[in-house]
């Protein structure tokens, strides 16, 4: 998802002097060195770049054990080496001027969504190209609150919203349907790990533990991590006033090149404006890019 999302971001901010990325992701900023490097090579010079992250995010790999502020410092040093001015901000709940009512919130991520909908907390500035990047985030928002989350994102006035997540419908009210969905989807990670990591590998154990937590969440009556497919996400985004941006041939070719070099068994296919990462032909992860109508 990083490669495709970054390609869409680069196209969306072409010619802009200031770029602000609100990073709603669980990947601890692993996506941004590649984007910074690409911006540094932009004809005419790179823009000023700001990256804003929430102070708390859903649990799960990668477990770096490094504070966000330290990650920001490392990113800033890397950006400086590339000639890019980077400002890194961490948003805390207390930053918001209008904190949400606890009685209306069911999960931490819903609370963060409310905080991040506050322009004063995000320090939005006139003239910036605003990008909202959602990497494996939407599934942590309760199904009944996802429309509200998308509304809050749209109200920020972004030029682009990127969404990457598991391509699976695991939020059915039917327990039997959710169990079947778990079986039909989560075998993919276990099968992929068998080809890439020894059984006692810390990385493998970390990912297997995360899958176990996902299954518990899907099966439990009050689970807080339930994916929806890319097709359903697309319906939601269009209904809420977004249009699919799509991905260029160069971005698709770059993704395929990376997979061919490093990941036997993985592939990518295009479905309308969406790119879908596949494992042995089975849909695993989707990436989409959206602009307000």
Contact by Cβ (8 Å): 147, 237: no
CATH of 2-169+227-292, one of 3.40.50.150, 3.40.190.10, 1.10.10.10, 3.40.309.10: 3.40.50.150
Burial 37-74 (b: 16+ CB within 10 A, else e): bbbeeeeeebbebbbbbbebbbebeeeeeeebeebbee
Average pLDDT over all residues of the chain? 85
**pLDDT at residue 139 greater than cutoff 70:** yes
| Of 10-24, 231-245, 246-260, minimum mean pLDDT range | 246-260
Torsion over CA: 189, 190, 192, 193 (sign): positive
% of residues, the chain, pLDDT over 90: 44
Q: What is the 3-state composition of the chain as percent helix, strand, coil, each rounded to the nearest 5?
A: 45, 20, 35
Residue range 190-208: mean pLDDT, rounded:
80
Token couple for 98: 């209008």
Distance CA 146, CA 266 (A): 29
Q: How confident is the model at residue 110 (pLDDT cuts 50, 70, 90)?
A: low
Which pLDDT score is estimated for 26?
78
| Of 81-85, 111-115, 238-242, 264-268, minimum mean pLDDT range | 111-115
Q: Of the ranges 173-182, 206-215, 221-230, which is most confident?
A: 173-182
Report cis status (omega within 30 of 0) of the bond before 107. no
Residue range 139-149: mean pLDDT, rounded:
85
> 48 φ, ψ to 5°?
-70, 140
Q: How confident is the model at residue 58 (pLDDT cuts 50, 70, 90)?
A: low
Distance CA 162, CA 180 (A): 29
Which pLDDT score is estimated for 173?
82
Which pLDDT score is estimated for 7?
93
**pLDDT at residue 241 greater than cutoff 90:** yes
| Of 72-81, 231-240, 247-256, minimum mean pLDDT range | 247-256
Residue range 185-200: mean pLDDT, rounded:
82
Q: pLDDT: is 93 or 233 the higher one? A: 233
Residue range 265-285: mean pLDDT, rounded:
91
Residue range 136-146: mean pLDDT, rounded:
84
**Domain coordinates in residue numbering, the chain:** 2-169+227-292, 170-224
Which pLDDT score is estimated for 99?
40
């Amino acid at each position: 998802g990083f490669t495709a999302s970054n390609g869409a971001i680069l196209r969306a901010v072409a010619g802009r002097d200031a770029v602000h990325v609100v990073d709603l992701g669980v990947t601890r900023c692993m996506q941004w060195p590649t984007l910074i490097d690409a911006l540094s090579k932009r004809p005419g010079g790179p823009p000023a770049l700001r990256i804003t992250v929430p102070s708390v995010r859903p649990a799960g790999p990668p477990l770096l054990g490094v504070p966000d502020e330290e990650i920001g410092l490392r990113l800033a040093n890397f950006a400086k080496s590339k000639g890019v001015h980077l400002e890194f901000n961490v948003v805390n709940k207390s930053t918001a001027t209008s904190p949400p009512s606890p009685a209306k919130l069911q999960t931490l991520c819903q609370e963060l969504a409310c905080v991040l909908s506050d322009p004063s907390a995000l320090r939005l500035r006139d003239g910036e190209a605003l990008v909202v990047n959602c990497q494996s985030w939407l599934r942590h928002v309760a199904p009944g609150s996802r429309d509200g989350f998308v509304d809050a994102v749209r109200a920020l006035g972004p030029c682009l919203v990127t969404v990457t997540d598991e391509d699976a419908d695991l939020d059915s009210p039917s327990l039997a349907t959710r169990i079947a969905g778990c079986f039909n989807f989560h075998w993919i990670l276990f099968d992929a790990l068998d080809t890439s990591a020894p059984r006692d590998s810390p990385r493998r154990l970390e990912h297997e533990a995360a899958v176990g937590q996902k299954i518990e969440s899907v099966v439990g009556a009050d689970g807080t991590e339930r994916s929806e497919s890319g097709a359903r996400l697309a319906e939601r985004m269009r209904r809420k006033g977004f249009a699919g941006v799509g991905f260029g041939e160069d971005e698709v070719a770059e993704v395929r090149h990376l997979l061919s070099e490093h990941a036997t068994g993985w592939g990518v296919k295009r479905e309308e404006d969406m790119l879908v990462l596949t494992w042995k032909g089975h849909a695993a992860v989707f990436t989409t890019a959206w602009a307000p109508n």
